[in-house]
Amino acid sequence: MHPVAAMSSVFSFSANNPFFCSTFVPVSRSSSSSSPNTVLVFGSSINNDNHKKQFSSLCGTSTVVVRSGAKAEEGLELLEDEDDGRHPPPSDALRQLRKSADWKAARAYKESGVIYEGRVEGVNTGGLLIRFYSLMGFLPFPQLSPSHSCKEPQRPIQEIAKGLIGSFLSAKVIHVSEENRKLIFSERDAMWTKFSDQVTVGDIFEAKVGPVEDYGAFVHLCFPDGCYHLTGLVHVSEVSWDLVQDVRDVLNEGDNVRVKVIQIDREKTRITLSIKQLEDDPLLETLDKVIPQNGQTVSDVLSVDDSVNYEPLPGLEAICQELLKEEGITQVKIGRQGFEKRVVSQDLELWLSNVPAGNGQFTLLARAGRQVQEVHLSALLDQEGIKKAVQRVSGRVP
């Protein structure tokens, strides 16, 4: 048996290197050994002479001892976790040194953000047990990729997790505490690294609704491979153009929806989504869509009043007076009036027209029941400023 010397370092090589070394520690030979400089390697795959030379050069030593599971060839000695008849089992001191080296490797994974391919060893009530060399890490259920539950939405996550035992998952180390013996993984973070570059603002995804909260719904994005790798948030204000008091009245977990990416915070790994922006804004509508010009026919319009003097709809005059109190609005004039077959709103509502504003001129649509009427504004505001002014006035006028 080789008495343990001081630990040297920990290396985590990239996948581009010809071999991967999890951890290594130097061990000294007995006085009768012909190789006084020996390195113990854990989790290494070294399978040809060139690899041996590269690794030997990095370590500055001539003899390499490879942990059980790695391939041993000429010039390498195999160190088994159990007695294989040729070598005695490692001592307690060596096991402790190995664990210390692996904790150091875990910290290196966390700091570098490198993705680790870990084997699922088991499941408990809160998540999965992930093998990290001589250590056992933990991957909580909320840190699993949404693709697992989206594939089998009817199965409990605990049952899905049991089916993952023995498989390998891509995960990132997100918390390491050797003192508290805590090693936490996240598959979600690994999926962000792999797939977030494929998402840009303006993209449209088929998606599946996940957990629904008071402030919005989490939605899982479906990628071209058919898997739901990333999750974004549809805020309550982006669910519908209509006022949504409770998101659960509109969306339920498991619903299939189409969403548009409206914001990406790559630093905080957040994607903001919208459902309503894939629909026409009902406020951005011209009166000519409901009141036709000469020679046009619209089935849902009954009549148009082209007289010069327009009487305001009940309650509209008070709204116009409030609009004049808004800073930036200089003139309010009531325009054409007509009737529709469809009822847009029983109460009087103001809708902003999408008629291009010219020289500070804007058009609103006042609708109540089947009645609709134009309201022309002169203002120093832009379209967004007009919308906010209308919202403020609507809040003041009952």
Same domain, 206 and 269: yes
The last residue of one of the domains, among 247, 278, 309, is: 278
298-315: average pLDDT: 55
pLDDT tens digit string along 67-102?
443 333 333 233 334 444 555 566 788 888 888 999
> Does a structural domain hold residue 105?
no
Query: Three-class SS of residue 375?
Result: strand
pLDDT tens digit string along 379-397?
998 888 888 888 888 888 8
The last residue of one of the domains, among 252, 278, 304, is: 278
Residue 176: CATH number of its domain:
2.40.50.140
Q: Bridge partners of 310?
A: none
Q: Give the pLDDT of residue 350.
A: 80
> Does a structural domain hold residue 15?
no
User: Is pLDDT at 158 greater than 70 in this prediction?
Assistant: yes
> Does a structural domain hold residue 331?
yes
The last residue of one of the domains, among 250, 278, 306, is: 278
> Does a structural domain hold residue 8?
no
Same domain, 269 and 298: no
Same domain, 188 and 204: no
CA dihedral 141, 146, 147, 151 (to 10 degrees): 80
User: Is pLDDT at 374 greater than 50 in this prediction?
Assistant: yes
Report how many domains make up the chain. Answer: 4
32-44: average pLDDT: 42
Q: Give the pLDDT of residue 5.
A: 33
338-347: average pLDDT: 65
> Does a structural domain hold residue 301?
yes
pLDDT tens digit string along 2-26?
333 333 333 333 333 333 444 444 4
pTM: 0.56
Query: Three-class SS of residue 186?
Result: strand
- Boundaries of domain holding 213: 199-278
Same domain, 272 and 293: no
pLDDT tens digit string along 194-247?
999 999 999 999 999 999 999 999 999 999 999 999 999 999 989 987 778 899
**Residue 116, token pair as written in the block:** 């680790």
> Does a structural domain hold residue 16?
no
Same domain, 211 and 163: no
Same domain, 388 and 314: yes
> Does a structural domain hold residue 4?
no
pLDDT, greater one: 84 or 336: 336
Q: How confident is the model at residue 44 (pLDDT cuts 50, 70, 90)?
A: very low
Same domain, 384 and 330: yes
Contacts of 77 (CB under 8 A, 6+ apart): 63, 64, 65, 66, 87
Same domain, 72 and 131: no
> Does a structural domain hold residue 103?
no
Contacts of 84 (CB under 8 A, 6+ apart): 78
Q: Give the pLDDT of residue 343.
A: 59
**Residue 359, token pair as written in the block:** 């020289």
Same domain, 215 and 233: yes
